[in-house]
Chains A and B, each alone.
Chain A
Amino acid sequence: MMVSFDYKSAVTTLHELRKSGERKSDLVVTLGENLIHQGYAGKLGDEVWAVYEQIFIAALDLGNDQLAIKCLENLDKRFPESPRVKILKGMKLEAEDKLDAALALYEDILKDDDANIAAIKRRIAVFKAKGQDQQAIEALTRYLDAFYSDSESWLELSALYLNFHLYQQAGFCLEELILLQPQNHFYHLKYAEILYTSDNITMSLKEFCRVVELCEDNVRALCGIKLCTSRLLNLPISAITSSSSSTNSPFDMKTISDLNALAVERLSTIYSKKRRGGSSANEITDWLNNLS
């Protein structure tokens, strides 16, 4: 495929990947190796440093140490004191499993500039790599307290909380995410699942309904509706009224059974449409029959 290496398209591809933040490390490394080994690096002008950084991270991902070292040397020569390069060095240390050294490096950077986002995030990553999830949570909450609008970090925090089965806290994070991006059905879906896990079935059912409203025929949400409604239908009546008194609009039995039927209907049409061999369609019908 790379018989005649196209310099221009390589550069634009790298540029686009940098802008979109995608992490296609293998692609970046192949392109980068060609760029560097065929002596195109000098042609790039000032862009070369960003390209080096990108190739360096990709090379670390793939364990291509030679390439990584080469990029890092070049960057280090050009920007000897830059905190950004220091962070790259820290990542190298992390890749070599020298976590404590990396941590020390990041904390050194943070001493000078306590608002260095990259350093804060790397530090949290080191905590995670060391298995010190609690410290990671603490650092992440402090980070989010300042950089409130970073939705990926909220997601990360909720994942960390879920590791500890702290569903209420994880739910809190998801609520923040919903506030930040109310139209993103994925956050609603995750929130619904967390609510379901923490046994708040009525709320969970509402959130699952919201997902289906935002993203039609979302299979995960339809399954969720099915699960919730089946559980509610199987509960004794008194239990429903007592549990739903905490939420604002109690469900009546008819709504629940209607939703149940709706979910079954949508799921069976989706799976019969897909023609993905008979097995998955059969499985889902079996599952549906078992639940009700």
Chain B
Amino acid sequence: MVVMVLVGVFRDQVTVLIGGGTSKKPGLKAIRESKALTRGVTLRNYGNHIPNNSFSVRKNFLSAAYKKGDYLKNPALANQTVNPMTDPAGMEMMMEGMKKNFAMIIPQTVIMGWINFFFSGFVLIKLPFPLTLRFKSMLQRGVETPDMDVTWVSSLSWYFLNLFGLRSIFTLLLGEDNAADGMRDMAAMSQMSASPTGQPQDFHKLFLAESENLELTPHNWELDDIENRLLIRFGKRNPTINDDNDTIEMEDIPSDLSDVKGKSKRKGINKKK
């Protein structure tokens, strides 16, 4: 167990060394690319809070920008599908994972081999409490004796118990979020096999979808009827009076659609001169 703790600490150091603080920050362009999408989403969700005119200006600007790929990291590559092997950033990410995995696998194999080789068949400890026979296969791996008491634990089993149980000790020794714990890596691994994360998203496709969504978004200004709402709320007007608003809204929908082209000229505001 002492060896395992030491190896765990060592692994933490090695990961820090290899990783070298390689939590490499994405550049400004990458951040811009990933945040641009939220802009469209906010506009779709809360667009009703701003006036018609402002909404359609933004809508046109954003959907055009999405289509053209203005927000992409590299606008020239807009139509190519990104191959993770050729994208240097993706390559780096894969290398990162590889390094981490190696740092995990190598010591694990070495220790297990070492234990298997030298200590196979050894019984290391005796548990202080009785257990049923079912636990035999769990606690006495590598020692195939049918009639030994279950409370004795074989070396190999003890190794596995430690592997899974040392997390809290590492947390104590190295602080939160250390790399010594094998379990976390394993969890990460199983996740990785489930869904191929790490593959860079194709932002251009996302942008195209978002621009389509945007163009389909209708706009009803929240404030169209505000003065009536306010007057009703303070009891100055009867709730029945506002029938005529329906006709007003019916009128402005077609005018809005026909105006879209004319208003798009004003999208220059978006660039704020």
Contact = CB atoms under 8 A, between A and B. Distances in A.
A203 B225 contact: no
B227 interface: yes
A2 interface: no
Interface in A139-182: 141, 145-149, 157, 168-169, 172, 175, 178-180, 182
Given A114-B28, A179-B49, A210-B222, A249 B245 contact: yes
B27 interface: yes
Given A148-B36, A175-B54, A249 B224 contact: yes
Contact of B248 (A149, A203, A248): A248
A262 B230 contact: yes
A113 interface: yes
A33 interface: no
Contacts of A137: 272
Interface string B24-43: 01111111100110110011
A148 B30 CA distance: 13
Interface string B84-114: 0000000000000000000000000000000
A10 B99 CA distance: 43
Contacts of B42: 149, 179-180
A88 interface: no
A126 interface: no
The A interface, classified by DSSP as helix, strand, loop or mixed, is: helix
A259 B269 CA distance: 33
Q: How large is the interface on A (under 10, 10 to 19, 20 to 34, 35 or more residues)?
A: 35 or more
A195 to B, nearest CB: 9
Most buried by B among A114, A137, A146, A147: A146
Contacts of A180: 42, 46
A91 interface: no
A203 B224 CA distance: 10
Contacts of B158: none
B38 A248 contact: no
Given A179-B42, A179-B50, A206 B226 contact: yes
A169 B46 contact: no
Interface in A268-290: none
A137 B51 CA distance: 25
B203 to A, nearest CB: 14
Contacts of B233: 213
B223 A262 contact: no
B116 interface: no
Interface string A88-107: 00000000000000000000
A262 B231 contact: yes
Contacts of B50: 175, 178-179
Contacts of A248: 52, 221, 224, 248, 252
B222 to A, nearest CB: 7
Given A249-B248, A255-B227, A115 B26 contact: yes
A258 B236 contact: yes
A113 B25 contact: yes
Contacts of A169: 269, 272-273
B265 interface: no
B224 to A, nearest CB: 5
Contacts of B29: 146
Contacts of B225: 249
A182 B46 contact: yes
A207 interface: yes
B50 to A, nearest CB: 5
B47 interface: yes
A205 interface: yes
A115 B34 CA distance: 13
A5 B249 CA distance: 66
- For the complex of A and B, the 7 pairs showing the least CB-CB separation, nearest first, are A146-B32, A182-B49, A114-B28, A209-B226, A115-B28, A206-B223, A175-B50
Given A114-B28, A178-B50, 18 more contacts: A137-B272, A147-B31, A147-B35, A148-B36, A172-B270, A179-B50, A182-B222, A205-B227, A207-B223, A209-B227, A247-B51, A248-B248, A249-B224, A249-B248, A255-B227, A255-B231, A262-B230, A262-B234
Interface of B: 25-32, 35-36, 38-39, 42-43, 46-47, 49-52, 54, 58, 221-231, 233-234, 236-237, 245, 248, 252, 269-273
27 contacts: A113-B25, A115-B27, A115-B31, A148-B38, A168-B269, A172-B272, A179-B42, A180-B46, A182-B46, A182-B222, A206-B223, A206-B227, A207-B223, A209-B223, A209-B226, A209-B227, A212-B230, A213-B230, A247-B51, A248-B224, A248-B248, A249-B225, A255-B231, A258-B236, A259-B227, A262-B231, A266-B234
